[in-house]
Amino acid sequence: MRFMLPNLANITPQLSYQYQQDNCAVLYFEQTQLKQLAQQYGTPLFVYSTQHIADSLSIYNQGLANHKHGIYYSVKVNSNIHILSLLHSLGAKFDVVSKGELQRVMYVGVAAKNCVFAGVGKTQDELLFAIQNDIGCINVESASELYRISELAQSINKIAPISLRINPNIDPKTHPYISTGLQENKFGILTKEAYELYQWAHGQPNLEIKGISCHIGSQLLDLSPLLQAAERVVEFAQSLQEIGIEIEHVDFGGGIGISYQQDESEKIAQLDWQNYFSNLTRIVPKDIAIHIEPGRSIVGNGGVLLTQVQYLKKQGELDFAIVDAAMNDLIRPALYQADHQVVELQQHVNDSVASKKFTVVGPVCETSDFLARDKELKIREGDYLAMLSAGAYSFCMSSNYNSRLRAAEVLISGEKNTLIRKRETFENMIANERIT
């Protein structure tokens, strides 16, 4: 017998509990039992769903099916080469923000022409590498960067394809650390300056103007700021066309949010995707391609972090569940005050253990090392937990703080599981260190 818990179904449909003969319910991801994975590979362990990734990508392709478009997956969100290879096989292109990310996608067989290079601080070495490998487009963030690109392209007798990232000064109504479209943010170029830079670039023989780009922020649960930004970008594109500068594409970045908690699930459920895509294709002329750079909305809810309870500790009025995962594995709660859902991998139906509100913490020597607060759990020492919505900005932001080894990663497809990153060893961790 299988049943869906509402708080799981709304966050990640591929997660469900299944009753076992011993009168307990075990958590499954697709058709894979997560407790078995935790025991097989150890914890902490990141697990990703193939089905979720494929389904999420298809939402964008179906929504823009009647308009020339490109879906450029944001590599910074989750850069495991197996995930990149999977997305490549599904027809995705890629948004990179460093030479290393470009090398990753090229390593899995993606031509640089199918990538856009974004980021506010590209170095000379990074730009040269991108131009030499025929990058699809460079999203330019400043006048100085534009001049540098022109000089580098000229020095190797190449033509660099460019798009200026304009800052539309729109409030995305999200966490201030992930807001990028306001005038006080470091990203993009204000439209007046961008207009002058486009005119300058139009006269440079080693630059080819491809488009206009824009990104206003991440974890957006309201689509109206995105459509507002789209209108401003298209208006700007039309002003360029009036002076003879043709635009092939407009790049609206990413930013659509995911469900971390029940209240966000309700907001996500209310998002009118059909209305968003129909308005986007109405705003953008048919002869201009629409580029989107989703990341979190592709993989965020498609990943979980498995961890084992080491100790239960009563401290005054608080109950702590001390687990073997920590802020070095999942820094989002400490960095962004992110609130991830936490669930048991096994729930005993008839059990004498009382349900309590726990603060879930790790072993790192920092007060900020917490993974979740005030979570209703029914657990013993030795039980396993799943941190949900851990597919984005999770492993890729992990570290070796406290000389902790980075976790393993597994990709599941139905009942099949594939180890896509081995657990780090001590030898891996110190490989580049030297004793003089």
Whether residue 181 is predicted with pLDDT greater than 90 in this model: the reply is no
2-49+301-430 and 50-298, same CATH topology = no
Residues, the chain: 436
Where is pLDDT greater, at 6 or 351?
351
Domain boundaries, the chain: 2-49+301-430, 50-298
Residue 267: pLDDT above 80? no
Contact indicator for 82, 420 with CB cutoff of 8 Å: yes
Query: Mean pLDDT over all residues of the chain?
Result: 90
Among the listed residues 403, 338, 405, 408, the one whose alpha carbon sits nearest the alpha carbon of residue 368? 338
In DSSP notation, 131-159 reads HHTT-SEEEE-SHHHHHHHHHHHHHTT--
pLDDT for 226 equals 85
pLDDT tens readout for residues 20-51 = 767 788 999 999 999 999 999 999 999 999 99
Q: 180: buried, middle or exposed (CB in 10 Å: 19+, 13-18, 0-12)?
A: buried
Q: What is the CATH number of domain 2-49+301-430?
A: 2.40.37.10
- Whether the bond between 168 and the residue before it is cis, its omega within 30 degrees of 0, is no
Range 164-181 average pLDDT: 59
One of 137, 214, 365, 396 is an active-site residue; which one?
365
Is pLDDT of 5 > 50? Answer: no
The CA-based angle 221-225-226, given to 5 degrees, is 85
CATH H-level superfamily of 50-298: Alanine racemase (3.20.20.10)
Can you tell me the mean pLDDT for 368-383?
A: 95
Tens of pLDDT, residue by residue over 377-419, are: 999 999 999 999 999 999 999 999 999 999 999 999 999 999 9
pTM of this prediction exceeds 0.85:
yes
Known catalytic residue at 365:
yes
pLDDT over threshold 70, residue 185: no
How many CB atoms neighbour CB 41 within 10 A? Answer: 20
